[in-house]
Structure 1
Amino acid sequence: MAVLKRGMKGAAVKRLQRELKSRGFDPGLLDGEFGGGTEAALMAFQLSEGLLADGIAGPRTLGALDLAKRADVWPDVLPAVTVQAVSEMFPSTPIRNIRENLPPVSTALAESGLTDKPMVLMALATIRAETESFKPVPEGLSRFNTSPRGHPFDLYDARRDLGNQGAPDGERFRGRGYIQLTGRFNYARYGELLGMGDELVRKPELASDPLIAGRLLASFLKDKEARIKRALIEGDLRHARRLVNGGSHGLDRFTDAFHRGERSISDLA
Structure 2
Amino acid sequence: MAELTPDDVRRWDAGAVLKVFQVASARAATLQTFGEDLGQVGQQLADWDGEAGAAFQASLGRARTDVLSDGRESSQVAAAVCDAWEDVQITKGMMSEVDQTAQGLGFVITPDWKVDVGTAGLLMGSTEAGLEQQILQGQLDTVKAKAHTTDHELATAMRAAVGDAKLDQNGREIPQTPAPPDGYQPVTADQLTQIVPGLSPQRAAQIVGPLNEAMRQGGMNTPQRQAAFISQVAEESDRFNTFEEYADGTEYNGRTDLGNTQPGDGPRYKGRGAIQVTGRANYARMSKDFGVDFVNHPELAAEPQYAFKTALWYWDTHNGNAVADTGDIVKITEMVNGGTHGLDVRTQFYNNALRVLAH
- The one-letter amino acid paired with 1:131 is S
Alignment of 1:170-189 (within 5 A): 170-189=266-285
Deviations 1:151-208 (A, max 9, x none): x533312110111123221111011111111111011112322232xx1111101111
Structure 1 distance, partners of 2:325, 2:294, is 34
RMSD: 2.8
Which residue number in structure 1 is paired with residue 239 of structure 2?
A: 133
Give the one of 311, 316, 324 matched to 1:217. 311
- Between the two structures, name the one with larger relative contact order (CA 8 Å, sep ≥ 6): 1
Whether the 8 Å contact between 1:131 and 1:178 is mirrored in structure 2 is yes
Task: Please tell me whether the aligned partners of residues 74 and 117 of structure 1 are also in contact (alpha carbons under 8 angstroms).
Answer: no
Kindly name which structure, 1 or 2, has the bigger radius of gyration based on alpha carbons: 2
TM-score of the pair, normalised by structure 2: 0.49
| Alpha-carbon distance in structure 1 between the residues aligned to 2:249 and 2:278 | 11
- Counterpart code for 2:193: S
Amino acid across the alignment from 1:165: T
Kindly state the Cα deviation for residue 121 of structure 1 after the two structures are TM-superposed.
1.7
For 2:344, give the aligned amino acid. D
User: Hey, what does 1:159 align to over in structure 2?
Assistant: 255
Asked if the contact 1:156/1:170 (under 8 Å) is kept, the reply is: yes
Q: Which runs of 5+ in 2 are unaligned?
A: 1-80, 82-151, 160-164, 167-171
How far 1:230 sits from its partner (Å)?
4.1
Q: CA 1:245/1:76 → structure 2, altered by over 3 Å: closer, same or farther?
A: farther
For 1:112 and 1:195, the matched residues in 2 are separated by: 19
3-state SS of paired residue (1:78) = coil
**Counterpart residue number, 2:185:** 78
Kindly indicate whether residue 213 of structure 2 is the aligned counterpart of residue 107 of structure 1.
Answer: yes
| Superposed displacement of residue 252, structure 1 | 1.1
Amino acid at match of 2:236: E
Residue range with higher mean Cα deviation, 127-136 or 181-190: 127-136
The residue type equivalent to 1:113 in the other structure is G
C-alpha distance in structure 2 between counterparts of 1:191 and 1:212, whole Å: 12
CA contact (8 A) 2:249 2:267 kept: yes
In the other structure, the counterpart of 2:288 is 192
Relative distance call for 1:108 and 1:236 in structure 2 (3 A) is closer
Unaligned 5+ runs, structure 1: 1-23, 25-39, 53-59, 64-72, 142-151
Q: 1:214 to 1:233 in 2, by over 3 A?
A: closer
**Structure 1 counterpart of 2:227:** 121
| Counterpart for residue 235 of structure 1 | 327
* Cα offset, 1:76, TM superposition: 3.8
Q: Is the 8 A contact 1:114 1:218 kept in 2?
A: no
Number of aligned residue pairs: 196
Deviation at 1:77, TM superposition (A): 4.2
**Paired residue for 1:16?**
none
Which structure shows the bigger proportion of residues in helix conformation? 2
Matched residue SS, 2:294: helix
Amino acid across the alignment from 2:185 = L
Once the two structures are TM-superposed, the CA of residue 88 in structure 1 deviates from its matched residue by 0.7
Deviations 1:123-150 (A, max 9, x none): 2111222123313431122xxxxxxxxx
Aligned counterpart, 1:207? 301
Whether the 8 Å CA contact 2:333–2:339 is kept in 1: the answer is: yes
Detail structure 1 runs of 4+ shifted over 4 Å in the superposition: 44-47
Provide the residue aligned with 1:3 in structure 2. Answer: none
Partner residue, 1:144: none
- Displacement of 1:94 in angstroms is 1.8
Taking the aligned partners of 1:74 and 1:253, their CA distance within structure 2 comes to 29
Q: Counterpart amino acid of 2:175?
A: G
Report whether the alignment pairs 1:265 with 2:354. Answer: no
